[in-house]
C-alpha cells in the first residue's frame, strides 16, 4: 500500500511562466551503502573530493531552459542539504555559483546556481518530505508527487536521481526532448558498453531494461528482469512534459503500483502512451553500492574535467 503523503512544508514562491523545472530526488536512505550513509546522505558523498550533487547541479545549470531547481530530501538529512546549499550560495562569483541575499528558512532553502552564460541563474529550493527512516520513506514516485504538489509545479519537468553521475552534458537530451514535444523522455545507457562499471549485459538485471524502436520509441520496458534481453537500461533521468505530470497522481491512486520504483512508473506509462529513450553514450554511474561508488571515485579522480563539462 502506498504510504500517506505528508503535507508539504515551505512557502509557495512566485516563478516566471514557461521554462523547465529541474527536480532532483535525494530522499533515500542509501542502506546498501551503509555504513557510509548511516549518518550522511548518498547524494552528498564525495567523489573526487566533491559532493555528487555538485556535479549534477552544474550540468543542470548549463541548460538554458531551466527556470529553477528543486532538491527533495528527508527530515533526517535535511540539515545537511541546507549546509550544502549554504556552501554553494557562499561560493565567490565566477566559481560556478551566484549567491542571493535570501536567508534560509526552516521549510527549505533558496539559492542561485549560475552557469557562465548571461542568463538569469536558476534558484535552488531544498524540500523536506518529512520522513525519518527507510521504513517510512515516500519512495521515488511518492517524492516526485510530493514535490510537484508542494511547489505547484506546472512546467515541463526534468527529473534526475541524486545518485546519478554521468559524463555527458544534458544539452543533447534536452534537444531530443524538445523535438518530441509532449512526449515523456527517458535517459538510456548501454551498460554492457565499456568502460561502464562491470561491462556485462547481466548487470542489466539490476535496472529497468528497455528496447527501442524507430525514432527511439520505447517498445518494451521490463523492470529488473532475471534474463535481460538487452543491455540498454533506463537511468533516473527523465523529461516529463507538463501535460503528463498528472500521471504521477494516477499511478499512486492504484495501491498495486510500486511507489518506490521510478522505473515501474515509466514501464506503466509506456503501456499507456508513447515514451521515448535518449541514449547517453559516455560514462554513467548509479551510486548504489560500495563497488560502484569506489570505481566512480577512481575514474573521476583520473578524469575530473570530463565529468565537469
Instruction: Give the DSSP H or E segment for 262.
Output: helix 262-272
Number of H helices, E strands in the chain: 8, 14
Locate cell 568502460: which residue? 195
The structure's pTM equals: 0.82
Instruction: With respect to residue 27, please indicate whether it lies within any of the assigned structural domains.
Output: yes
Instruction: With respect to residue 82, please indicate whether it lies within any of the assigned structural domains.
Output: yes
Give me the domain span that covers residue 26: 20-307
Residue-wise pLDDT tens for the chain (309 aa)?
Answer: 444 444 333 322 323 346 899 999 999 998 888 888 889 999 999 998 899 999 999 999 899 899 999 999 999 999 999 999 888 766 654 444 333 322 333 334 444 454 444 333 568 899 999 999 888 899 999 999 999 999 999 999 999 999 988 888 999 999 999 999 899 999 999 887 554 444 455 566 677 888 899 889 999 888 877 777 778 888 999 999 999 999 999 999 999 888 888 888 999 999 999 999 999 988 888 888 888 888 888 888 887 665 555
* Domains in the chain, number: 1
Instruction: Give the DSSP H or E segment for 156.
Output: strand 156-161
SS3 assignment, position 186: strand
Instruction: With respect to residue 7, please indicate whether it lies within any of the assigned structural domains.
Output: no
Neighbours of 55 (CB within 10 A): 20
Q: Give the phi and the psi of residue 218 in degrees, each rounded to 5.
A: -75, 115
Instruction: With respect to residue 3, please indicate whether it lies within any of the assigned structural domains.
Output: no
Instruction: With respect to residue 111, please indicate whether it lies within any of the assigned structural domains.
Output: yes
Q: How far apart are CA 268 and CA 138, in angstroms?
A: 19
Q: What is the CATH number of the domain that holds 296?
A: 3.90.550.10
Instruction: With respect to residue 11, please indicate whether it lies within any of the assigned structural domains.
Output: no
N-term to C-term CA, the chain: 42
Instruction: With respect to residue 1, please indicate whether it lies within any of the assigned structural domains.
Output: no
Instruction: With respect to residue 239, please indicate whether it lies within any of the assigned structural domains.
Output: yes
Cell of 113: 546556481
Cβ–Cβ under 8 Å, residues 208 and 222:
yes
Cβ–Cβ under 8 Å, residues 207 and 255:
no
Amino acid at each position: 500500500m502506498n504510504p500517506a503523503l505528508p503535507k508539504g512544508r515551505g512557502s509557495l514562491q512566485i516563478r516566471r511562466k514557461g521554462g523547465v523545472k529541474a527536480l532532483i530526488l535525494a530522499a533515500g536512505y542509501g542502506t546498501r551503502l551503509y555504513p557510509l550513509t548511516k549518518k550522511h546522505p548518498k547524494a552528498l558523498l564525495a567523489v573526487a573530493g566533491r559532493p555528487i550533487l555538485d556535479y549534477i547541479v552544474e550540468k543542470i545549470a548549463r541548460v538554458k531552459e531551466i527556470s529553477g531547481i528543486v532538491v527533495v530530501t528527508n527530515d533526517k538529512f535535511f540539515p545537511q542539504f541546507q549546509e550544502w546549499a549554504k556552501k554553494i550560495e557562499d561560493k565567490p562569483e565566477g566559481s560556478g555559483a551566484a549567491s542571493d541575499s535570501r536567508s534560509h528558512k526552516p521549510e527549505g532553502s533558496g539559492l542561485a546556481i549560475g552557469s557562465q552564460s548571461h542568463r538569469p541563474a536558476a534558484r535552488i529550493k531544498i524540500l523536506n518530505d518529512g520522513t525519518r527512516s527507510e521504513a517510512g520513506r515516500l519512495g521515488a514516485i511518492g517524492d516526485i508527487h510530493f514535490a510537484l504538489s508542494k511547489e505547484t509545479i506546472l512546467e515541463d519537468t526534468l527529473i534526475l536521481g541524486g545518485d546519478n553521475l554521468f559524463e555527458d552534458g544534458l544539452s543533447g537530451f534536452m534537444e531530443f526532448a524538445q523535438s518530441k514535444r509532449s512526449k515523456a523522455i527517458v535517459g538510456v545507457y548501454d551498460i554492457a558498453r565499456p568502460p561502464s562499471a562491470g561491462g556485462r549485459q547481466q548487470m542489466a538485471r539490476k535496472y529497468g531494461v528497455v528496447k527501442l524502436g524507430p525514432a527511439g520509441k520505447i517498445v518494451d520496458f521490463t523492470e529488473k528482469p532475471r534474463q535481460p534481453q538487452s543491455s540498454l537500461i533506463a537511468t533516473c533521468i527523465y523529461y516529463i512534459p507538463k501535460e503528463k505530470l498528472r500521471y504521477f497522481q494516477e499511478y499512486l491512486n492504484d495501491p498495486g503500483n510500486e511507489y518506490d520504483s521510478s522505473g515501474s512508473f515509466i514501464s506503466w506509462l509506456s503501456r499507456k502512451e508513447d515514451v521515448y529513450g535518449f541514449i547517453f553514450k559516455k560514462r554513467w554511474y548509479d551510486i548504489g553500492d560500495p563497488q560502484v561508488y569506489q570505481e566512480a571515485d577512481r575514474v573521476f579522480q583520473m578524469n575530473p574535467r570530463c565529468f565537469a563539462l
